[in-house]
């Protein structure tokens, strides 16, 4: 009997969660808000799972070959339109930035040529101030979601986190014009990140499934009224954004898949590649148009292409050690850059909390500080005589070029002004240029590197559309050029090639992607001979930096509060079961429920999914029927298909609904239960939920490992997972898993002992890192 009793106890222990005694019944306290752009907003998860209710099944059965072909055709047509629109906007952005900045530098240089230095500084400073004030104001008051690069928000969306306004038409307009003005203001920011957000906005707007307001109710557009198809379109849009920013179609595709997307498949790669190919073709045609001189001051519209092709590039084994060191130090610098940027963003968030005026004032002060540095630092550099074999006019006056005159006499140039008193694109061209090993002085490059490093950090967090790609490239290129000067004649690589490798090492140390960055830099520089060295540099810099912190976009995303699901489970998750983290109280609905109960539940909870359970007296025992979404309940209540007695819905009532009624609305168009009024008589009536319930939701047993549940949740792209009991005789559903249940702060709040063991394990694995702090 004792053995039998022990055996029963063992069997019971195998069916219970590992930490049952510590299980909490409190509500998940994980934050439901995040910093979207520059404002704190409520966030929700996306429904990538198909709700297989009766209406969905009926809709798919009714689709014939013609409808399926229409659906496939629309996917390719929208991919084509995304490529066309993003390429045109990218071209317009570059053209506008180069001409606005060009006019500013021409006027300033002409004043300096006349030795009116004070007037030149006033024109330069006031121009930058106005160009910064404009995007700061429109971003603060029109669309705060447009602040920053937008890459963390797009990445979070593709992971399943939705936030209001991130892809609205208002955000798109502010992003475009705000980015143009901010980049032209000489702030150390880039336009690549905003272009990714711009591409995602365009894709989202095209994939809204039509609009009743603008009478775009074409039946074909309705196929995209779901989060799954919009996710694919936004992935293509983000790839097109990078392709348009750098003229790097393959690099843009790889960046979207390596850094942005959480789910992808071969069909998506095919369409995204088609989109970036359209971008490349249109940009090529527009560049040919600009070569005729019809695009303003700089002719080529500022489209980035740093041609460092050299037919005599040769390197030997003796060149590898310096490259390895360059990659190692680049990783350290990248990790330190991410660390400082996170601290600055936290400081800026405290300032931004005090209102829009403080956000604008911060941007204005950064603009004034930047203008003083950019105009004042070149005076510290001594003038150099123009080289006799210069490949272009020396000195250059009032336009881009390697040899800026600034305050120097004729026949001389200011090497620091050639870098710092210029647009970021032109500074990169100067650093990447070949045959210029003796162009820059040690002191000028050191000043420029430190200026870029710290100005790009303090400039990023201001309330304007701003990217990090180009500032990181500039900073890394100046660091690489310094290494090239240090090597001197001991290396077969010229200083321009060292600048390219330095940019790669710093990009790898900050952004931590490898394949996409490698291809983007190769497409930028048009130099395939550097491929082996660039691969080595990226691998080393990423490995070194990963030992200290995460990539810059993940740091920003977590600082903003997005509940991002990583593609790997933390080790402590294997010590827990799903039953250990599910919190209550659980809200369930009957298969035939009273209207008043549904209204009460919707008004008093924020849940977006409710288990539907068939209970007595209509059934012998409680049985889990499925899951119904909040949006579907609201749509059902709006239709008022009620009955005075608890009975199944007849065909006449079902006929007043269609599958399109339950399709996902466009961004920001969700209905609210507060907008619907009910009489006392209606609240006492009943509604049959069975036809509207997803009868095949994903379920897991309460004893499943939390790590295993995370893999299922992330890979399938779920919003809800129902937890069912291991043993019969209990309630048919134990709880619901959402992405917030996988967040470390929630898990470690429930089980503090894991925090202590996790800290000890980290100290054991990385003792040298902890000694630094």
Q: How far apart are CA 102 and CA 296, in angstroms?
A: 9
Confidence of residue 237 (pLDDT cuts 50, 70, 90): very high
- Mean pLDDT for the chain overall: 83
The position carrying tokens 């790097």 is 248
pLDDT (0 to 100) of residue 218: 60
pLDDT of residue 643: 87
* Phi (first) and psi of residue 723, to 5 degrees: -100, 120
Q: Give the pLDDT mean for 269-290.
A: 91
Ramachandran region, residue 151 (left: φ > 0; alpha: ψ -120 to 50; beta: rest): alpha
Name the 3-class secondary structure at 612.
strand
* Look-up of token digits 């030795």: 115
Summarised one tens digit per residue, pLDDT across range 550-589 is 999 999 988 888 889 988 888 888 888 998 888 777 888 9
How far is the C-alpha of 701 from the C-alpha of 709, rounded, in Å? 10
Pairing verdict, β 589-590 and 592-594: unpaired
From 55-64, 238-247, 740-749, the region with the lowest mean pLDDT: 55-64
Per-residue confidence (pLDDT) for residue 740, from 0 to 100: 87
State which of 131-140, 605-614, 646-655 shows the largest mean pLDDT.
131-140
pLDDT band at 156 (very low <50, low <70, confident <90, very high): very high
Mind giving me the DSSP string for 391-412?
SS-SSB-SS--S-B-TTPPTTE
Nearest to 525 by CA among 559, 554, 502, 552: 502
Of 234-248, 309-323, 351-365, where does mean pLDDT reach its minimum?
309-323
> Is 60 exceeded by the pLDDT of residue 484?
yes
Q: What are phi and psi of 209, to 5 degrees?
A: 80, 25
Give the model's pLDDT for residue 127: 95
**Model confidence pLDDT, tens digit, residues 409-419:** 888 888 888 88
Asked if the model's pLDDT at residue 21 lies above 50, the reply is no
Close Cβ partners of 6 (under 8 Å, ≥ 6 residues apart): none
| Contact between 419 and 430 (Cβ < 8 Å) | yes
Contact (Cβ atoms closer than 8 angstroms) between residue 381 and residue 441: yes
Categorize the per-residue pLDDT at 275 as very low, low, confident or very high, splitting at 50, 70 and 90.
very high
Of the pLDDT bands very low, low, confident and very high (cuts 50, 70, 90), residue 11 is: very low
Greater model confidence, 727 or 368: 368
- The arithmetic mean of pLDDT across residues 388-399, rounded, is 69
3-state secondary structure of 354: coil
Structure tokens that stand for 73 in this block: 């055709």
Q: Of the segments 276-285, 306-315, 635-644, 745-754, which one has the largest average pLDDT value?
A: 276-285
Q: What is the mean pLDDT of residues 50-70?
A: 76
The DSSP string of 400-443 is --S-B-TTPPTTEE-HHHHHHSS-HHHHHHHHH-SS-TTSS-HH
- pLDDT-based confidence at 672, cuts 50/70/90? confident
Neighbours of 65 (CB within 10 A): 7
pLDDT at 19: 40
Peptide bond before residue 438 is cis, with ω within 30 degrees of 0: no
- Residue 217 is predicted with a pLDDT of 55
Q: How far is CA 290 from CA 105, 285, 297, 423, in A?
A: 21, 9, 10, 19
Per the structure block, which two tokens stand in for 668?
Answer: 């920001």
The residue among 366 and 646 whose pLDDT is bigger is 366
DSSP notation for 166-230: TTSHHHHHHHHHHHHHHHHTT-S-BSHHHHHHHHHHHHHHHTS--BTTTTB--GGGGGG-SHHHH
Other beta carbons within 10 Å of 460: 26
Most confident stretch, 45-49, 452-456, 488-492: 452-456
Return the percentage of the chain with pLDDT > 90, whole number. 37
CA distance 277 to 529: 24
pLDDT in tens, 109-151: 888 888 888 999 999 999 999 999 999 999 999 999 999 899 9
**Across the strands, what pairs with 148?**
465
What's the CA gap between 284 and 281, in Å, rounded? Answer: 5
Position 25 scores a pLDDT of: 43
Q: Which two tokens stand for residue 725?
A: 């009991």
> Residue 219 phi/psi, 5° resolution?
-60, -35
Strands across the sheet containing 735-737: 699-701, 721-724, 735-737
The vertex-327 CA angle with 323 and 331, nearest 5°, equals 170
Give the other-Cβ count within 10 Å of 16's Cβ.
Answer: 16
What pLDDT score does 296 carry?
67
The model's confidence at residue 307, banded by pLDDT at 50, 70 and 90, is: low
Range of lowest pLDDT (197-206, 438-447, 542-551, 743-752): 743-752
| φ, ψ dihedrals at 700, nearest 5° | -135, 150
What pLDDT does 177 receive? 96
The Cα angle at residue 675 between residues 673 and 681, in degrees rounded to 5: 75
In the DSSP assignment, the letter for residue 34 is E
Q: What integer pLDDT is reported at residue 692 of this predicted model?
A: 87
Q: Which residues contact 473 (CB under 8 A, 6 or more apart)?
A: 190, 428, 503, 506, 507
- pLDDT for 20 equals 39
For residues 197 and 203, what is the distance between their CA atoms, to the nearest angstrom? Answer: 10
For residues 595-608, average pLDDT: 89
Whether residue 341 is predicted with pLDDT greater than 70 in this model: the reply is yes
The per-residue pLDDT for 507 is 95
Dihedral of CA 557/563/564/568: which sign?
Answer: positive
Closest CA to 467 of 719, 676, 183, 216: 183
Answer yes or no: is pLDDT of 674 > 60. Answer: yes
Over residues 39-67, mean pLDDT: 77
Distance of CA 750 to the CA centre of its chain: 30
In this predicted structure, what is the pLDDT of residue 1? 39
> Burial of 640 by CB count in 10 Å (0-12 exposed, 13-18 middle, 19+ buried)?
middle
| CA separation for the pair 469, 79 (Å, rounded) | 25
- Note the pLDDT of residue 215: 55
The CB density around residue 11, as the number of other CB atoms within 10 Å, is 10
pLDDT score for 425: 83
H helical segments located in 299-377: 320-352, 356-376
Which residue's structure tokens are 């798919």? Answer: 60
Query: Whose CA is closest to 59, among 691, 659, 661?
Result: 659
Q: What count of Cα atoms within 13 Å lies in the side-chain half-sphere of residue 566? A: 14
Q: How confident is the model at residue 165 (pLDDT cuts 50, 70, 90)?
A: confident
Cα gap 432→394, rounded to integer Å: 18
């Amino acid at each position: 009997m004792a053995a039998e009793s022990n055996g029963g106890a063992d069997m019971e222990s195998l069916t219970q969660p590992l930490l049952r005694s510590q299980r909490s019944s409190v509500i998940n306290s994980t934050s439901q808000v995040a910093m979207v752009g520059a404002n704190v907003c409520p966030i929700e998860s996306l429904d990538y799972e198909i709700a297989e209710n009766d209406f969905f099944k009926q809709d798919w059965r009714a689709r014939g070959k013609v409808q399926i072909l229409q659906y496939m055709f629309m996917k390719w047509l929208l991919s084509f339109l995304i490529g066309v629109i993003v390429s045109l906007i990218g071209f317009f952005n570059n053209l506008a930035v180069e001409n606005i900045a060009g006019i500013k530098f021409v006027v300033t240089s002409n004043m300096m040529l006349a030795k009116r230095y004070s007037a030149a500084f006033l024109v330069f400073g006031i121009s930058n101030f106005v160009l910064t004030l404009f995007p700061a104001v429109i971003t603060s008051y029109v669309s705060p979601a447009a602040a920053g690069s937008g890459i963390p928000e797009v990445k979070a969306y593709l992971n399943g986190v939705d936030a209001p306004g991130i892809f609205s038409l208002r955000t798109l307009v502010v992003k475009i014009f705000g980015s143009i003005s901010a980049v032209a203001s000489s702030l150390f920011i880039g336009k690549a990140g905003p272009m990714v957000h711009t591409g995602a906005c365009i894709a989202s707007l095209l994939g809204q499934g039509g609009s009743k307001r603008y009478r775009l109710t074409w039946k074909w557009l309705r196929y995209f009224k779901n989060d799954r198809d919009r996710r694919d379109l936004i992935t293509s849009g983000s790839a097109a954004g990078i392709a348009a920013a750098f003229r790097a179609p393959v690099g843009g595709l790889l960046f979207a898949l390596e850094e942005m997307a959480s789910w992808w498949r071969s069909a998506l790669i095919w369409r995204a590649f088609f989109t970036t190919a359209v971008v490349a073709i249109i940009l090529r045609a527009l560049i040919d148009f600009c070569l005729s001189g019809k695009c303003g001051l700089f002719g080529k519209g500022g489209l980035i292409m740093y041609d460092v092709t050299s037919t005599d590039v040769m390197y030997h084994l003796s060149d590898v050690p310096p490259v390895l060191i360059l990659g190692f130090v680049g990783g350290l610098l990248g990790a330190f850059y991410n660390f400082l940027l996170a601290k600055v963003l936290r400081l800026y968030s405290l300032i931004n909390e005090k209102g829009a005026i403080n956000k604008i004032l911060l941007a204005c002060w950064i603009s004034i500080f930047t203008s003083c540095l950019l105009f004042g630092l070149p005076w510290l550099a001594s003038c150099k005589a123009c080289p006799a074999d210069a490949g272009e006019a020396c000195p250059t006056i009032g336009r881009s070029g390697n040899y800026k005159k600034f305050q120097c006499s004729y026949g001389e140039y200011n090497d620091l002004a050639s870098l710092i008193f210029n647009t970021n694109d032109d500074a990169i061209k100067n650093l990447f240029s070949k045959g210029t090993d003796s162009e820059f002085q040690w002191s000028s490059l050191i000043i420029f590197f430190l200026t870029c490093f710290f100005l790009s950090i303090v400039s990023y967090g201001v309330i304007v559309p701003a990217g990090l790609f180009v500032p990181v490239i500039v900073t890394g290129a100046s660091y690489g050029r310094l290494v090239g000067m240090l090597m001197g004649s001991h290396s077969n690589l010229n200083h321009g090639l060292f600048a390219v490798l330095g940019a790669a090492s710093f990009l790898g140390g900050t952004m931590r992607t490898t394949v996409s960055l490698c291809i983007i830099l190769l497409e930028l520089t048009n130099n395939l001979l550097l491929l082996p060295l660039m691969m080595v540099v990226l691998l080393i810099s990423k490995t070194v930096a990963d030992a200290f912190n995460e990539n810059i976009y993940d740091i920003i995303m977590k600082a903003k509060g997005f509940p991002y699901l990583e593609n790997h489970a933390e080790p402590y998750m294997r010590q827990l079961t799903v039953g250990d983290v599910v919190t209550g109280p659980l809200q369930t609905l009957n298969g035939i429920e009273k209207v008043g109960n549904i209204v009460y539940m919707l008004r008093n909870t924020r849940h977006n999914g409710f288990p539907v359970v068939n209970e007595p007296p209509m059934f012998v025992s409680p049985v889990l029927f499925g899951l119904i979404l909040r949006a579907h309940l609201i749509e059902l209540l709006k239709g008022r298909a009620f009955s005075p007695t608890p009975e199944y819905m007849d065909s006449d009532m079902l006929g007043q609904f269609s599958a399109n009624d339950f399709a996902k609305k466009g961004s920001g168009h969700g209905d609210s239960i507060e907008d619907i009024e009910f009489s006392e008589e209606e609240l006492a009536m009943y509604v049959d939920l069975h036809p509207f319930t997803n009868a095949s939701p994903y379920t897991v047993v309460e004893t499943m490992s939390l790590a295993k549940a995370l893999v299922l949740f992330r890979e399938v792209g779920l919003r809800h997972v129902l937890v069912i009991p291991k043993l019969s005789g209990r309630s048919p559903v134990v709880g619901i898993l959402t992405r917030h249940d996988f967040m470390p702060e929630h898990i470690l709040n429930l089980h503090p002992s894991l925090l202590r063991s996790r800290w000890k394990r980290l100290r054991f694995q990385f003792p040298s890192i902890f000694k630094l702090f």
